[in-house]
Structure 1
Amino acid sequence: MNRLIKALVEVGEGLSRAVFRFPLTVFCLICATALVCYTISLHKDPELIIFKLMFTSLLGAFIGVAAQFACERFKRLADMRIGVYAFAALLILGYFMIVRPAPAIDFGVGARTSVAIFAMFCAFIWLPSYGEKFDFNSVALVHFKSFFTAVLYAGVLSAGLSSIIAAINFLLFRINSDWYGYTNAVVWILFATIYYLSLLPNFNSDAEEDRAYAQEASHYPRFLDILVSYIAIPLVAAYTLVLLVYFIKIGVTRTWPVGQIGPMVLWYSSVGAIIYILASRLQNRFAVLYQQIFPKVLVPIVIMQLISVYIRINAYGFTEGRYYVALFGLFSVLCGVVFSLKPVTKNGLYAVVAAIIAIISVIPPVDA
């Protein structure tokens, strides 16, 4: 019982620290949770402005995290934290003013918002490693572990609370079914995200306690070593072989794909890059071979996909979807070439280049 109480106290203290450390993010999460709960209570599609506010709150949460990590990485920004947060708030307001006139939440609005969120995510996982202040691969590992830990905790909490509501509903008195939605909104949007943030150390702090926690948090667990080295890498290798055989088939039959290859290569590039970063701290034979081979194999596979996209653009014209598939393909080729030449210690370039390309893709006149 004492251990349970101690664990609950530690979780509570961590959540409290995260609230004070990421105030703008927490505010945006509260807004998003409230809007989702309001939408659930309506039992019909809400007004368009509600969706726009949800998108704004979601992007604002990521901007808030990026602002805080910028303050922690650069002492000059830390000294004017209020100004940094004011600028972040202006960015959030600017986004809302951009989407407010939109007649609908269509693919374009969703894609641009997703790309902006992706850019902010790349920014805040890269910022602690700027100037090699902290190893980028270790930062990425901490985020990876924290994310899945938060998902596990939220999943257990969500299942438990839903079971309690169901038990009360069946055994004691009827409960409005909306409460299932309210509960899951609070757990998955508010609790899970804040708990995830509470697990992230202050990577750039000079305090001995913070440095010790950062080193502890960046420890590579044995189970993840096995998962990456002996399960994920062989699966990616097998998938790579299938794609290569398929492209050989295209070369023999001279019949180009009709659109299905784009998403497959996109997912392959994304998952392969994540595995590449996670494998960068491992020294076993599988991991080392993957570090050496994956960037080189990625280039020809993505080039074939880009040729396929070019053919479809010539035949059917540009669409926002094809624009982003082509842009991601160019990014993948660039990264494949760079990381064929650079050591794994320079993996932070992945995040920098991704953020720059993502930002460019939403700024006229070269946007989607």
Structure 2
Amino acid sequence: MKIKDKSFYRLNAFSNTFFRYPVSILFFLFLSLYVIRGNRLNYYSFHQGPIWAFTIGGVLTAVSQTLYEKLYLGKQFARIILHLIAILFTLAYYYFFLRHYPDFSWFIMMRFDALLAASIVAFIWIPTIKKSSLSFDLAFTVAFKSFFSSLLYSVILVIGFFIIFGTYTFLIAELDYVIFADLATIIFCLFAPICFLSYVPDYNLSEGNVSDQPDGPLTVPKLLRFLVSYIIIPLLTVYTLILMLYIVPNLAGEFWIDNLLEPLLISYAVIGFLTLFISHTFDTLSTKYFKSIFPKVFLVIASFQTLASIIKTQEVGLTPGRYYVILFGVFSIISSLLYSFSIRKKYLVPVLFIVLTTLSSIPPIDAVTVGLNSQIRSVESVLEKNNMLENDRVISNKNISTEDQKKIIEGLRYIEDYDALDRISWLPEDFAYYGDQFETVFGFDRFQSQYDEPSTVDGALNPPYTSLQLNTNRSTPLDISSSNQLVIIPFSYDQYVQPIIQTTPLQIEDISYNLLVTVEEDNFQIDLTTNRDENIISHNLSFMLEENYKFYDTIQDLPLTDLTFTEENDQAITTVIIENIEILDKESYSGSLYLLIDLKD
């Protein structure tokens, strides 16, 4: 296709999008205007619910248009009814699930992500139904190509406009910074969806007609063929081999306990199936082997990991995250079976995805509801075991085992993360997980052993953590009359940053000195020297980083006496008062301190 003809074709396709998807474009226009309005508001006064509603509405009306083009083409009344159904569903979604949550919430995001994923797959799948010669693999590849083409154009436009307006601001007159956010909003919330939809062909015209043209809408770009065949598939093969090398030797024990593979399963499944769908649209040597071997290998990985996640659920309860791991595991197992042993029925794969993902967002079987109920039951069972529940209220008990304390702490933390503590009837009405009530209600400090061992819910390894600060709840007199100088010193060490010695020049009684602060992995020291680098006094604080330090691996406010340290020699006395310090094992430490210097005559 010549450049001139291709340009006219793209322009015509872009303009036709306004006639094919007018309601979707209206939704995306409302989305853009609403976000632009939000750019000028305080974050806490901006209701985020309409953003998710407009996005879902835009996608659902695009799905209804695709359904019209496939099953009811030419019947305008059917088109109107389908759009009305999509609009009514969007209104119901906002009314029942969004309007009560003005701020960011995991409730909202997990349900939104599930509905969005199901809607997008439905948008791709519908043209392949009803004895169509168009396969889902090809329809998916067209959508994949459309997405990245529109993304590329959008990014280039944003960069270009930012450079233009940035140059104008630099050379001529200053512009309000909000205009940059508005430009990005218009491009990503309005132009990008329209551009994507313009790349999606009317399959009634394209199917069997232009698919053989070199630059037709149903062709697979050569670059994509090359990337999939010679880069993505080899990398995915090596990655799969690493997973198998981990699974096979550990099947006798550790695999079922540590669950290291669980966080990787969903991303691995998504990348694997994306590659599988695209590889079915062309034949190269690598894609032939990949299509033949990957489903069977992935069937083994998904089966073992899904079983391991189910076993872990029996131990610590079901979380929303683990719900999706198991759900994707079930999807992966069934899909792998279809691709391995019944390739003619692979058309069921998108149907299965749509059904499972939609069910995961509908109460009372959605991920959040099921996961939270499981965590609440898990906490209740621990409380009942320790006789801490009576007449629907908590009886404090500081003598329960550390393991049970951790289960209660982690379970309530998960429930708090999803803003669902109000679902628990036996908690006080004004209970706040991050407040001071925790120890009063349960009888033990929620920080007491939070960092001792791996988390009991998500299995994440938490290294020893220390956080000490000076108790400022009461006035404390500090005598500095005998000191020549008071210095406030901030300090910070990170294992990924090259440590440096912080040097501060001092002037005491018209004599110049240097204060050197060394912060290294095992060395925390303050030195006072003359201008000739002659050491006057050294104050070593490295003991605070060691495991045998009495406050190591604790989180607490301490009185002045516990955070005051003195060093003396025949030339000077230095007194260090730690204002605050945070230590994360050997990885990092930071804080601030007061240094009092008293030079002897």
Deviation of 1:62 after TM superposition, in Å, equals: 1.0
How far residue 209 of structure 1 moved from its aligned partner, in angstroms, is: 7.7
More helix by share: 1
CA positional deviation for 1:365: 3.6
Task: Quote the RMSD (CA, aligned, Å).
Answer: 2.5
The 3 A distance-change label for structure 1 pair 156 and 93 is same
More displaced stretch, 334-343 vs 255-264: 255-264
Q: What's the counterpart of residue 60 of structure 2?
A: 63
Normalised to the residue count of structure 1, the TM-score between the two structures is: 0.91
Q: For 1:132, what is the secondary structure of its paired residue?
A: coil
Q: CA deviation at 1:324?
A: 1.4
Kindly provide the CA deviation profile for residues 65-113 of structure 1, in whole angstroms up to 9, marking residues without a partner as x.
Answer: 1101000000278442111111111111110111245345421221111
Residue 276 of structure 2 aligns to which amino acid in structure 1?
Y
1:293–1:210: structure 2 CA closer, same or farther, 3 Å change rule?
closer
- Residue 173 in structure 1 maps to residue 173 in structure 2: yes
Contact 1:202–1:214, Cα closer than 8 Å, also in 2: no
Structure 1's 275 and 323: CA in aligned 2 closer, same or farther, altered over 3 A?
same
Pair 102,312 (structure 1): closer, same or farther in 2 beyond 3 Å: farther
- Look up the match of 2:289: 289
Matches within 5 A, 1:326-337: 326-337=326-337
Residues 33, 186 of structure 1: 8 Å contact kept:
yes
Paired residue total: 363
Which residue of the partner structure matches residue 127 of structure 1? 126
8 Å contact from structure 1 (residues 303, 333) kept in 2: yes
| Deviation for aligned residue 1:11 | 4.8
Say if 1:89 and 1:77 are closer, same or farther in 2 by CA, change over 3 A: farther
1:99 is matched with which residue: 72, 97, 100?
97
Match 1:74 to one of 64, 71, 75? 71
Aligned to 1:138: 138
Shift of 1:214: 11
1:51 matched residue in structure 2:
48
Shift in alpha-carbon separation, 1:90–1:169, aligned structure 2, 3 A: same
Deviation at 1:255, TM superposition (A): 4.9
Query: Aligned-pair distance for 1:7?
Result: 7.3
Question: How far apart are the structure 2 equivalents of 1:261 and 1:274?
Answer: 20
Structure showing greater Rg: 2
Q: 1:37 to 1:6 in 2, by over 3 A?
A: farther
> Hey, what's the Cα distance between the residues in 2 that align with 1:60 and 1:355?
17
- The answer as to whether partners of 1:108 and 1:320 remain within 8 angstroms in 2 is no
Displacement after TM superposition at 1:212 (Å): 8.0
Instruction: Call closer, same or farther: CA 1:93–1:235 in 2, change over 3 Å.
Output: same
**1:291-330 superposed matches below 5 A:** 291-330=291-330
Closer/same/farther in 2, CA of residues 346 and 23 from structure 1, 3 Å limit: farther
1:327 corresponds to which letter in structure 2?
Answer: L
1:219 aligned partner: 219
1:55 alignment partner AA: W
Separation (CA, whole Å) in 2 of partners of 1:170 and 1:109: 41
Whole-Å Cα distance in 1 between the matches of residues 7 and 37 of structure 2?
30
How far, CA to CA, are the matches of 2:247 and 2:208 in structure 1?
Answer: 53
- Which aligned pairs between 1:228-239 and structure 2 lie closer than 5 A? 228-239=228-239
Cα distance in 2 for residues equivalent to 1:365 and 1:77: 39
1:90 maps onto 2:88 in alignment: yes
Letter in 1 for 2:87: A
Shift of residue 338, structure 1, vs aligned partner: 1.4
Distance (whole Å) between structure 1 residues aligned to residue 158 and residue 251 of structure 2: 50
What does residue 33 of structure 2 align with? 34
SS at match of 1:42: coil
The structural deviation recorded for 1:260 is 3.9
Q: What letter matches 1:183 in structure 2? A: L
Partner of 2:363: 364
Work out whether 1:190 is the aligned partner of 2:187.
Answer: no
Corresponding position: 1:25 with 2:24: yes
Question: How far apart, CA to CA, are the structure 1 residues paired with 2:8 and 2:337?
Answer: 48
Higher share in strand: 2
The Cα of 1:221 is off from its aligned counterpart by: 2.2
Q: 1:260 to 1:180 in 2, by over 3 A?
A: farther
- TM superposition score normalised by structure 2: 0.57
In 2, Cα distance between equivalents of 1:34 and 1:190: 10
TM-fit CA distance, 1:132: 3.4
CA distance in 1, matches of 2:196, 2:206: 22
Structure 1: give runs of 5+ residues left out of the alignment. Answer: none
Sort the Cα spacing of 1:163 and 1:120 in 2 relative to 1 into closer, same or farther, 3 A: same
2: CA distance, partners of 1:45 / 1:205: 49
Residue number in structure 2 paired with 1:113: 112
Task: Mark the CA change 1:259 to 1:38 in structure 2 (over 3 Å): closer, same or farther.
Answer: farther
1:202 aligns with: 202
Determine the C-alpha separation between the residues in 2 that align with 1:253 and 1:270: 28
Residues 173-231 of structure 1, C-alpha deviation per residue, up to 9 Å, x if partnerless? 00011111100111111111101101111012489988888981111222221111111
Q: Which has the higher contact order (CA 8 A, sep 6+)?
A: 1
Cα distance between partner residues in 1 of 2:6 and 2:361? 44
CA contact (8 A) 1:55 1:113 kept: yes
C-alpha change, 1:230 and 1:212, in structure 2 (3 Å) is: closer
| More moved, 308-317 vs 200-209 | 200-209
Asked if the contact 1:119/1:355 (under 8 Å) is kept, the reply is: yes
Query: Which residue identity lines up with residue 170 of structure 1 in the other structure?
Result: F
Amino acid at match of 1:305: Q
Q: 1:209 to 1:286 in 2, by over 3 A?
A: closer
1:209–1:280 Cα change, 3 Å: closer
8 Å Cα contact 1:202/1:210 also seen in 2: no
After superposition, the C-alpha distances for 1:135-181 in whole angstroms (9 at most, x for unaligned) are 22221111111111111111111100000010000011000111111
Q: Secondary structure at the match of 1:176?
A: coil
**Structure-2 separation of matches of 1:13 and 1:353:** 36
Q: Which amino acid aligns with 1:72?
A: E
Aligned equivalents of 1:161, 1:217: Cα separation in 2 = 29
Question: What amino acid maps onto 2:34 in structure 1?
Answer: L
For residues 117 and 77 of structure 1, the distance between their equivalents in structure 2, rounded to whole angstroms, comes to 28
What 5-or-longer segments of structure 2 have no aligned partner?
368-601
The 3 A distance-change label for structure 1 pair 20 and 5 is same
Contact 2:146 2:196 in 1 (8 A): yes
The letter for the 1-side match of 2:117 is: F
